[in-house]
């Protein structure tokens, strides 16, 4: 079974992916967080940096697009194709209100927008010169919306269907509706990848003990919390404290040389620490201080203490699920 790193806006940028791949082997494929192709200059400078081959060396990468505009999708995919990428992923899952209000992400699978979705899919699948995979939720508010969605998707040569088995209204916290993965595996023409519900190594066994395995699983928050999780799923060992520390230090240094000053760098690091802190026992006081601080010296002192003083857990505390 292929193991993939989920796209995570604000977390898995090209620097993060490159360093994760360097320190923690075991991921077969990475995705970019969503890129939003636009009129005129199709991608921003930051978006282009995400997909330049030199920033993704040695990595199997699938860039992701978030749009409902056929022309923009095709213009974006031509740029990606010219950079050497072979597959592009369509985001039909982002639940953010500002995105869905524009009929993008999960907003494009709302039942009342079926015609828009259909004409968009017709447009991209008839003209795109790359493979297209689709990352999708079950629907807007009722999982019973999914069979009709799947019937529509089955009309197109979808390379892989990545299913996040929640509806838009579930956002990220409601329990995943795993039964729909098995429904999809039975009824989809495209091979399935599961995104969601696998946060520690034991989850894989629990979910698939008595059920068929999809072609791939995608790991998001659980893998940011425990960067060694993909290796563990392959029988490897836990994250080593020194390696974690080197990973964080190198990420900090490279991010600092890219961003403007210590404040934005600290902000980036805190996004990662939101999850990574859960790999350390008794972290509550440390996390509170880390989250609050605006001083770089203090930030570094807290991180030093985390690495020096807190015991590492066997599995991250993943109670966000
Ligand atoms: C902070 C954050 C950012 C995310 N950004 C993206 C994104 O850019 N594109 C996307 O398709 N999904 C995005 N997701 C959804 C994840 O890819 C994944 O489907 C979801 O978190 C469920 O998997 P998990 O429980 O393994 O984290 C994001 C999730 C989080 C928590």
Per-residue pLDDT for the chain (321 aa), expressed as one digit of tens each? 999 999 999 999 999 999 999 999 999 999 999 999 999 999 999 999 999 999 999 999 999 999 999 999 999 999 999 999 999 999 999 999 999 999 999 999 999 999 999 999 999 999 999 999 999 999 999 999 999 999 999 999 999 999 999 999 999 999 999 999 999 999 999 999 999 999 999 999 999 999 999 999 999 999 999 999 999 999 999 999 999 999 999 999 999 999 888 889 999 999 999 999 999 999 999 999 999 999 999 999 999 999 999 999 999 999 876
User: Of 130, 121, 86, 96, whose CA–CA distance to 8 is shortest?
Assistant: 96
Residues 76, 65 contacting (CB under 8 angstroms): yes
Q: Which atom of ligand 1 is nearest to the CA of 222?
A: 26
CA of 261 relative to ligand 1 center, distance in Å = 27
Contact yes or no for 85/63 (Cβ under 8 A): yes
Closest listed residue to residue 168, CA positions, set 144, 136, 139 = 139
d(CA 26, CA 38): 34
Residue pair 29/42 in contact (Cβ under 8 Å)? The answer is no
Q: How close is the Cα of 144 to the center of ligand 1, in Å?
A: 22
Q: Is 76 in the pocket of ligand 1 (CB under 6 A)?
A: no
Radius of gyration of the chain (CA): 20
Task: Give which of 153, 167, 226, 154 is closest to 196, Cα–Cα.
Answer: 167
Q: Are 277 and 306 in contact (CB under 8 A)?
A: yes
CB atoms within 10 A of CB 81: 15
CB neighbourhood size of 103 (10 A): 18
Cα 137 to Cα 38, 110, 178, 254, 272, distances in angstroms: 24, 10, 12, 34, 24
Among 101, 106, 91, residue whose Cα is nearest residue 169: 106
95 lines ligand 1 (CB under 6 A): no
Tokens of 134: 């689709």
Residue 129, CA distances (Å) to 22, 34, 87, 277 in order: 31, 19, 9, 42
Residue nearest to atom 3 of ligand 1 (CA): 8
210-221 as b/e: b if 16+ CB within 10 A: eeeebebbbbbb
**Most distant CA pair in the chain, distance:** 57
pTM above 0.95, yes or no: yes
């Amino acid at each position: 079974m292929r193991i993939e790193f989920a796209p995570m806006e604000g977390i898995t940028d090209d620097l993060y992916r490159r360093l994760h791949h360097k320190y923690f082997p075991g991921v077969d494929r990475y995705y970019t967080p969503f890129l939003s192709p636009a009129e005129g200059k199709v991608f921003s400078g930051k978006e282009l940096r995400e997909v330049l081959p030199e920033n993704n060396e040695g990595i199997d990468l699938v860039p992701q697009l978030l749009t409902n505009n056929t022309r923009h999708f095709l213009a974006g995919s031509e740029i990606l194709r010219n950079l050497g990428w072979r597959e592009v992923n369509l985001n039909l899952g982002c639940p953010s209100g500002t995105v869905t209000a524009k009929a993008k992400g999960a907003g494009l699978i709302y039942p009342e927008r079926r015609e828009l979705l259909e004409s968009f899919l017709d447009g991209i699948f008839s003209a795109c010169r790359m493979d297209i995979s689709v990352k999708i939720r079950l629907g807007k508010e009722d999982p019973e919306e999914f069979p009709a969605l799947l019937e529509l998707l089955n009309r197109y040569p979808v390379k892989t269907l990545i299913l996040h088995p929640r509806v838009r209204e579930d956002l990220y916290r409601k329990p995943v509706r795993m039964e729909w993965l098995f429904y999809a595996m039975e009824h989809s023409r495209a091979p399935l990848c599961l995104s969601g519900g696998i946060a520690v190594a034991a989850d894989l066994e629990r979910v698939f003990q008595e059920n068929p395995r999809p072609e791939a699983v995608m790991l998001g928050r659980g893998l940011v919390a425990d960067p060694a999780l993909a290796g563990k799923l392959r029988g490897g060992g836990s994250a080593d404290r020194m390696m974690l520390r080197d990973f964080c230090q190198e990420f900090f240094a490279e991010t600092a040389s890219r961003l403007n000053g210590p404040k934005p760098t600290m902000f980036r690091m805190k996004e990662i620490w939101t999850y990574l802190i859960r790999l350390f026992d008794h972290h509550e006081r440390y996390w509170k201080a880390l989250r609050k601080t605006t001083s770089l010296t203090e930030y570094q002192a807290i991180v030093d203490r985390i690495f020096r003083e807190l015991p590492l857990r066997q599995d991250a505390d993943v109670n966000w699920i």
